[in-house]
Homo-oligomer: A and B are copies of this chain.
Amino acid sequence: MTPRESWIPGLPAGDLFGIHNLPYGLVSGPPLTRATLVVRIGDHVLDLAAAAVGSEHAPLLEASSLNPLLAAGRPVWRAARTAVVSWLSDETFRARIEPLLLPLAGLRCHLPFEVADYVDFYSSEHHATTVGRLFRPGSPALPVNWKHLPIGYHGRAGTVVVSGTPIARPSGQRLVDGAPAFGPSLRLDIEAEVGFVVGGPTALGEQVSLSQAAEHIFGVCLVNDWSARDIQAWEYVPLGPFLGKSFATSVSPWIVPLDALATARVAPPARDHPLLPYLDDTKHDGSAPDGGGLDIALTVSVNESVVSRPPFASMYWTPFQQLAHLTANGASLRAGDFFASGTVSGPKRGQEGSLLELTLNGAEPVELDDGSVRAFLEDGDEVVITGQVAAAPGRPALGLGEVRGRVVAGPA
């Protein structure tokens, strides 16, 4: 796609939500009469249902979720994006389109897709190593399978919520003085992740190859996979996390098209174990690597104090490997399938994507700007995770926005 500039008045060059980005969302509020699909540009949104009237894209963009568009597959995603770019950059459309722009302020954002299945991976080597040391002392920090496959598990699709939804502190079983007791989690944590929205359904039995995986990834968002560490630690052997995770997963409201992130692709970390062919993204002919990583810089803040800056480029397994693995057994994909990267933690202190790691399981609490300290989250704490692609030569700056959530006391 040729970079263009938008005709939108007052849109600064280099705006994080400029013409190069155009993430999809679902909003409601006057003057809209129902939840409506939009793209964001600057601090405005374009009403896609209204803009698409009479176009070939109308049946998909009039919907009240992205799922019909997700089902249509990548050629349609590309065509729709090309149309939207034209509408917002070609002066010949301006008279028709400009009245369909609405200020974002005052509108309410909704989850823009219906989640089919939700899978959470575990693809940061630094996260997995630290968590292994904390949860499984005496065992190898990194599980023996970790460098051979992207470990993942299914989460609860029905409790994926949009940014801004209050997060009630979950109750559950956890050990108190060595005995199980029921009550509010005492170790409520965050996990800063990046999420991938899937479309282009496949049939049962069909494998999606590494080279085809991008055809099924519509877009990217931010994820906070809230985690009750005490509930998780007691329940997770042998079948994995369940109630320690299933109470809520928050996602940012803007789905950035994968096509918008083409210039943010980077090579993943060097592979120090040979990979089986279905996961092998190394080039064996000496040419440049595939660039399955994405150079997205995250920040994690608690009550407006930045506590961490996780670099997504440090992830060992890429989303393309994750999707190839997810379907290697013939599991089918549906429009609205969603998978998250796993906690993003870089190699350095201050790059950890969870309080568990930042505080070494509470041993070294973090200090906030107001002088208070946190081992884990307290009621009233507000967590915000942001993501952006920094501008660089040949690459525009892009925003992923934020995923926000405030912890509130659970039911008595």
Hey, which bits of chain A sit against chain B, CB under 8 A?
A: 116-117, 119, 122, 132, 135-136, 143, 145, 148-149, 151-159, 161, 165, 168, 170-173, 180-182, 204-207, 228, 231, 234-244, 246-248, 276-278, 325-326, 328-334, 337, 410-411
Question: Could you name 21 residue pairs across A and B whose Cβ atoms are closer than 8 Å?
Answer: A117-B156, A119-B242, A122-B239, A143-B238, A145-B234, A149-B234, A151-B235, A154-B156, A154-B242, A154-B246, A161-B204, A168-B204, A171-B330, A181-B276, A204-B248, A237-B238, A240-B240, A243-B326, A243-B328, A246-B326, A330-B410
A236-B238 contact, Cβ under 8 Å, with A158-B334, A182-B328, A410-B205 = yes
A168-B240 contact, Cβ under 8 Å, with A117-B156, A235-B149 = no
Given contacts A116-B158, A149-B180, 20 further A-B contacts (CB under 8 A): A132-B238, A143-B238, A145-B173, A145-B237, A153-B153, A153-B240, A156-B331, A158-B331, A165-B204, A172-B329, A173-B276, A182-B278, A182-B328, A204-B247, A228-B329, A236-B238, A238-B240, A246-B326, A246-B331, A247-B329
Copies in the complex: 2
Residues of B within 8 A of A151 (CB): 235, 238-239, 242
- B239–A171 touching, CB < 8 Å: no
Question: Once bound together, how far apart are the Cα atoms of A410 and B240, in whole Å?
Answer: 28
- A207–B331 touching, CB < 8 Å: no
Partner of A171, one of B207, B236, B246, B337: B207
Residues of B within 8 A of A410 (CB): 205, 330
A241-B239 contact, Cβ under 8 Å, with A168-B330, A204-B168, A205-B168 = yes
